[in-house]
Amino acid sequence: MIVRRFRDEAAVADAAARRFEEAAATAIAARGTFRVALAGGGTPKLAYERLRTLPVDWAHVETFFGDERAVPPTDGASNYKMASDALLAHVPIPAANVHRIRGELGAAEAARRYALDLGEAPLDLVLLGMGADGHTASLFPGGVPPDEPRRVAPAEGPPPHRQRITLTLRALRESGSAVFLVTGIAKAHRLAEVLAQARSGEATLPAAGVCSGTPVEWLVDDAAASELPLEENES
C-alpha cells in the first residue's frame, strides 16, 4: 500500500489522471483492452476533466462504475452523469464501451444486469473515493457484508439517495489495482483511522477492507493527510 501526498486537490487530480493514463497504456499493450471502474462523488471530477487532455487510447477502454444511485442517468445525483459531463462525453470512447449501471431500473434489477455486463474478468483499475465515515463506492459501515460472494450488490446509503448499486469488496479486491482519491480536512481523521486499520490487517471500515486484496495507492492532499504521521508517504 502506498500513500502519496500532494499539496492540494488539483495536484491530486493531475496525479490520478496520469495514473489512469499509465494503467491504460500498460493494460492495452498487454491485453488489448483496459477495464476500469470510475469513482462517483465529487472528488474525481477534476481528475476526469484532466483526463480529457491526455493521450489515452479510448477505443480500447472499457469503462465501468464503482457504484451508482438508483436514479436515471439524467439525474444530478447520477455518478454516470458526473463522469459523462466531466469526461466521457468529451473523449472518443465508443458508446458500447461505457457500461452504465442502469439505476433507473431500481437497485435489485440494476445490480443483476450490471453483474452480467461486468462479467467474470477482473478490472484492471478501480478509482475510488472515501466518505468521512470510511465508506467507499456504496459500501457503508454495517451495509453490504465484507464476505458478500457476489461482485455486484444492491446497497443502502444515506438519504436522499438511499437505494444504490455497488461493486462489492470481492470485486474491488480482485481488481489489478485500486487508487483512492481523498482530499480535504473533513476526511483527515477517518483517513488516519482507515490507513491504520489497513496496516494492522484489522479492517472494519469498508475503505480499509479494499487494502487486503489488490495493490492500493492513496492519492491524498495535505489537508486530508494532516493527521497522518509525517513519515506517512510510502507503503
Select 29 or 226, whichever has its Cβ closest to ligand 6PG.
226
Minimum gap (Å) between residue 83 Cβ and ligand 6PG: 11
Minimum gap (Å) between residue 32 Cβ and ligand 6PG: 29
Q: Which whole-number Å values give the CA distances from 92 to 33, 58, 59, 98, 136, in the listed order?
A: 15, 6, 7, 11, 29
Select 28 or 72, whichever has its Cβ closest to ligand 6PG.
72
Q: What CA–CA distance (Å, rounded) separates 140 from 119?
A: 24
Select 4 or 60, whichever has its Cβ closest to ligand 6PG.
4
Minimum gap (Å) between residue 42 Cβ and ligand 6PG: 3
Minimum gap (Å) between residue 130 Cβ and ligand 6PG: 6
Residue of minimal Cβ distance to ligand 6PG: 129
Select 93 or 101, whichever has its Cβ closest to ligand 6PG.
101
Which amino acid appears at position 150 of this protein? R
Beta bridge partners of 69: 164
Minimum gap (Å) between residue 158 Cβ and ligand 6PG: 9
- Residues engaged in binding ligand 6PG (CB under 6 A): 39-43, 66-67, 79, 129-131, 135-138
Residues near 92 by beta carbon (within 8 Å), at least 6 away in sequence: 58, 59
- What phi, psi does 135 have (nearest 5°)? -75, 160
Select 3 or 210, whichever has its Cβ closest to ligand 6PG.
210
Select 35 or 135, whichever has its Cβ closest to ligand 6PG.
135
Select 137 or 194, whichever has its Cβ closest to ligand 6PG.
137
Minimum gap (Å) between residue 136 Cβ and ligand 6PG: 5
Q: What CA–CA distance (Å, rounded) separates 1 from 200?
A: 12
In this structure, the dihedral spanned by the alpha carbons of residues 173, 179, 184 and 185, taken in order and rounded to 10 degrees, is 50
The secondary structure of 131-155 as a DSSP string is -TTS-BTTB-TTSS-TT--SSEEEE
Minimum gap (Å) between residue 113 Cβ and ligand 6PG: 18
